[in-house]
Amino acid sequence: MININITEKKHTDVVFIDNVSQISETCAELSGKKVAVLAPESQSKNAAALINALKNGGAAAYLYKLPDGEECKTIENALKLSAFLDENMFGRSDMILNLGGGTVCDLGGFVASIYKRGILYYNIPTTLLCAVDACIGGKTAVDCNGKKNHWGTFYQPEKVCIIGDIIKSLPDELIDAGKSEIVKYAVIDEDFYEYLSELPIKNFTTELTTIIQKCLRIKGRFVELDERDRGARHALNAGHTIAHAIEAQSDFSIDHATAVMLGLITETNIAYKSGFIGQNRFERLTKLYRKYFGDYAELSLDEIENLVPFMQSDKKNQNGKICFVLPCEHSVKSVMIDDIKSILI
Ligand code: GLY
């Protein structure tokens, strides 16, 4: 027998800097490299400043503009980006730098993972949602055959830079869009629950950098345990079985933040009604939801039942049972459920 032991040492460095101009010191290793900066139209100003800073630091920086929105996450755009890298003679020691939200990081990470069998990539998140979730963990993807994230790889970013000035200038709607994922981490992690429940709501915006650090530490623990999402990492999908079904049913006209909010609320009700959590934990979670989500209307039993067909295609399901990641007393746990209605009535 021939035994080939393959181990690849992988890590992602997450660095926190104040502004784009500090990139040349923080990423001095980019000097002498070609760097393709991927950025959506809405990030043109930050992209120009970033290109300038990279050039000052001795890198050869190239701007690759994308339209805003999930629609750009296609295999056609992956091929176009790959052609751009070829035209500019990017080699295996050159790299991609994603400046954007989850869409840009997913697409750029996907191309980085396949171009010449893999080149390095960095992420600079420009949305709160991306800063607390997609910027680490290495899930890369394009949408395909009408399915979200249908083609993808696990391929870790070499570095993630959280830039204070970008985070501080986020508009209110992008801050709101990150809240549900942040609250999700409080369902998973008791210490973070305590932190969020004690944080005065008026300080939420000023504390964003600390919040991002805490969320990335929690996510990082699960990614270290289970990079390929075969078990432990499923915890990060708390609230998401319902959320993904809501998004699919609405043909993605309901945004991810609203869907995750409704997912967390509904899945907490399921956990309570099935005896998975007691009254105390139920009330503590509900109190946090009211604090961060304000007044909300819960889904009716009919609305939940209508979501069932959309839950049936979830990758985590087994033997016809739907996989939920429900709150348990101190964190969350995967549970297979075959008849949601009997639990809720
Ligand atoms: N967004 C969940 C994960 O990265 O596994």
Contact between 23 and 61 under an 8 Å Cβ cutoff? The reply is no
Place of tokens 């043909």: 251
Task: Using the Cα atoms of residue 190, residue 228, residue 69 and residue 207 in order, give the sign of their dihedral.
Answer: positive
What does pTM read for this prediction? 0.95
- Phi, psi (degrees; rounded to nearest 5) at 110: -65, -50
Q: What is the pLDDT of residue 218?
A: 98
DSSP string, 138-189: -EEEEEETTEEEEEEEE---SEEEEEHHHHHT--HHHHHHHHHHHHHHHHH-
Residues 6+ apart with CB under 8 A from 169: none
User: Does the pLDDT value for residue 10 go beyond 90?
Assistant: no
- Phi, psi (degrees; rounded to nearest 5) at 150: -75, -35
Quick check: helix, strand or coil at residue 345? coil
User: Does the pLDDT value for residue 39 go beyond 90?
Assistant: yes
Q: Which of 136, 139, 188 to mutate to test the pocket of ligand 1 (most atoms within 8 A of CB)?
A: 139
Q: Which atom of ligand 1 is nearest to the CA of 136?
A: 4
Ligand 1 lined by 137 (C-beta under 6 Å) = yes
Place of tokens 């120009």: 48
User: Does the pLDDT value for residue 184 go beyond 80?
Assistant: yes
Contact between 54 and 61 under an 8 Å Cβ cutoff? The reply is yes
Q: What is the pLDDT of residue 316?
A: 77
Band the pLDDT of 176: cuts 50, 70, 90: very high
C-alpha 120 to ligand 1 mean position (Å): 20
Q: What is the pLDDT of residue 60?
A: 98
**Residue 264: C-alpha distances to residues 126, 135, 268 (Å):** 25, 22, 6
Q: Which of 12, 154, 216, 233 to mutate to test the pocket of ligand 1 (most atoms within 8 A of CB)?
A: 233
The mean per-residue pLDDT over the stretch 89-115 comes to 98
Ligand 1 lined by 240 (C-beta under 6 Å) = no
What is the token pair recorded at 18? 């104040």
Percent of the chain with pLDDT over 90: 89
Band the pLDDT of 6: cuts 50, 70, 90: confident
296-344: pLDDT as tens digits:
889 999 999 999 999 987 777 888 899 999 999 999 999 999 888 788 8
What rounded mean pLDDT belongs to the chain?
A: 95
Q: What is the pLDDT of residue 293?
A: 96
Band the pLDDT of 219: cuts 50, 70, 90: very high
**Rounded CA separation 136/208 (Å):** 17
How many distinct helices (H) and strands (E) make up the chain? Answer: 14, 10
C-alpha 276 to ligand 1 mean position (Å): 23
What is the token pair recorded at 338? 């075959």
C-alpha 277 to ligand 1 mean position (Å): 24
Q: Which atom of ligand 1 is nearest to the CA of 237?
A: 2
Residue 130 burial (CB < 10 Å; 0-12/13-18/19+)? buried
Ligand 1 lined by 229 (C-beta under 6 Å) = yes
User: Does the pLDDT value for residue 58 go beyond 90?
Assistant: yes
- Nearest residue by C-alpha to atom 2 in ligand 1: 236
Ligand 1 lined by 234 (C-beta under 6 Å) = no
Q: Which of 160, 229, 323, 334 to mutate to test the pocket of ligand 1 (most atoms within 8 A of CB)?
A: 229
C-alpha 331 to ligand 1 mean position (Å): 16
Q: What is the pLDDT of residue 63?
A: 98
Q: What is the pLDDT of residue 299?
A: 95
257-285: pLDDT as tens digits:
999 999 999 999 999 999 999 999 999 99
- Nearest Cα neighbor of 8 from 222, 154, 218, 159 is 154
Q: What is the pLDDT of residue 46?
A: 97
